[in-house]
Structure 1
Amino acid sequence: MHPLLKQIYISKQNYRTIGLYWVGSILMSTVVFLPGNLVGKYSTKVGPASLLIIPYLLLPMWAVLQIYNQPLQNESAPKAIEIVQKKNLIQRPFDLVLAILFVFIAAFSIFRGLVALDCPAEVCRQYLQQQEPYLRDPAAYPKIQMLVYMFYSVPFCIGTIYGLLVPGCSWLPDFAVLHAGGLAQAQFSHIGASLHSRTPYTYRVPEDAYLSFLLINGLYGILPQLLAYRCINSPEFFLKRKKDTKTM
């Protein structure tokens, strides 16, 4: 391929990736913001001006449809795809680590969802008091965020583990970028609000838990970024193999 044409191709693919990442972040914020306004402490202040959120909701939906109408092209050689897809998970150490870590992400998402739902178990009560009291904030945004993690991120984690085990799951790279954008936005907002000075003191992260809080939530937000990076930069395992045409 001519160098100029190759650069144009790479630019188009980058715009596609950036678009999916942006849509993921916007959709995540909207999914949390709208229900939070209706059920949180600000629900009594919802008025006609709230209808202005409609364009903010429709634009990402239109954008993601436009992006998906542009087929994902690749220049990976069929032989390279075949070689990579013959390797099992043990022979792909980075994918193995990702699969194990996504098991923990799914488990942690379920755990925090239960904490947000006021699970009476002692471990949940201790976590709420010692690590993330912000989940009790009457604004309801953190509680809804944890429920979104439990009901949407957990199925994605299960799909990711499947996609890392079974070759040819061509849907995974796009969904990985969408999920990475959503988690980046959500974790940035959650960490910031948990530590912000305007958050009531009783709901802020205790000073002696800063390190563990930042470590846990930082890893929770970074791992989807690593998955997206892996899927975009080395997509051979996720590509569909073309069937050989037989001549009669």
Structure 2
Amino acid sequence: MMSIVVFLLGNMIGKYSSELSPSFLLNLPYVLLLLWAGVRLFQQPKELLCLSPEKVAEEQSKPLYRRPQDVALVLVLLLMASFTFFRGMVVLDCPADSCFDYIYQHEPYLRDPVAYPKVQMLIYMFYALPFFLLCIYGLVLPGCSWLPDWSLVFAGAVAQAQFSHLGSSLHARTPFPYQTPDDVLWSFLLSNILYALGPQLLVLRCLRRPAFFLPPAPAALLRAKKHQ
């Protein structure tokens, strides 16, 4: 869905905006269909996990430093958040030398006048970046029951958006000045593939050990279990 929204916005403000016709509105049913599917998905009753209150309490009592996998995942999300902010500043014409070098030497597709890559980087900056920070919050503090579902939706959106971004950057019809240089091709591919892989690792973490994200068991229930 993220790619469709970026496509619509990019066409409305890019260099082809003056060539839009009424047939452009045929893209709207795709957006509405995805919104309907998302609403139906979140309205479905959740399957209850057969985990004892003691297991949930034990898992949620572990601090972050006793969960090395979560520490590594937090570091990955911090790197992704930094990269997201950096590319957002790049498309906003930040005068820093690092931004200038990046947009001309590493990812010139961000300068393409079709505005598709610029809109995508801005959506990343204003929507994906806050979510990365919320994911870090959900990995540090237990009981964030919203994280497994939303991480799954977010992972799919980022994977689709990165596929479209990579495909557009490397497409033969992209004008030559905006194509990725051959000498930085592998670093460009590696950074963007890892960017899409990070949310998938978060989903895997939520699915493999979901006890940390369940609502904490009431203290009275735990005392009754111990008494029994």
TM superposition score category, shorter chain reference:
over 0.9
Aligned mates of 1:166, 1:158 — CA distance in 2: 12
Question: Which residue of structure 1 lines up, in the alignment, with residue 24 of structure 2?
Answer: 50
SS at match of 1:123: helix
Please say if residues 155 and 199 of structure 2, whose CA atoms lie closer than 8 Å, have aligned partners that are also in contact.
yes
TM-score normalised by length of structure 2? 0.93
Q: Does 1:39 align with 2:24?
A: no
Number of residue-to-residue matches in the alignment = 221
Deviations 1:29-59 (A, max 9, x none): 1220111110011211211111212211111
Gaps of 5+ in 1: 1-26
Among 179, 183, 187, the alignment partner of 1:212 is: 187
Question: Which residue of structure 2 lines up, in the alignment, with residue 170 of structure 1?
Answer: 145
Deviations 1:170-229 (A, max 9, x none): 001111111100110111111111111111111011000011111111111101111011
Among 97, 107, 116, the alignment partner of 1:122 is: 97
Among 36, 39, 62, the alignment partner of 1:87 is: 62
Aligned mates of 2:160, 2:153 — CA distance in 1: 11
Question: Which residue of structure 2 lines up, in the alignment, with residue 196 of structure 1?
Answer: 171
Structure 1 moving runs of 4+ over 4 Å: none
Aligned mates of 1:49, 1:84 — CA distance in 2: 54
Deviations 1:215-247 (A, max 9, x none): 111111101111011112221100112323599
Q: Does 1:222 align with 2:190?
A: no
Q: CA RMSD in A?
A: 1.4
Aligned mates of 1:218, 1:142 — CA distance in 2: 16
Question: Which residue of structure 2 lines up, in the alignment, with residue 150 of structure 1?
Answer: 125
Deviations 1:57-112 (A, max 9, x none): 11111111111111322222222211110111111111110111111111110100
SS at match of 1:168: coil
Work out the percentage of aligned pairs sharing the same amino acid. 51
Q: CA deviation at 1:131?
A: 0.5
Aligned mates of 1:156, 1:239 — CA distance in 2: 19
Moved more, 161-170 or 188-197: 188-197
Aligned mates of 1:221, 1:191 — CA distance in 2: 11
User: In the alignment, residue 51 of structure 1 is paired with which amino acid?
Assistant: L
Please say if residues 56 and 217 of structure 2, whose CA atoms lie closer than 8 Å, have aligned partners that are also in contact.
no
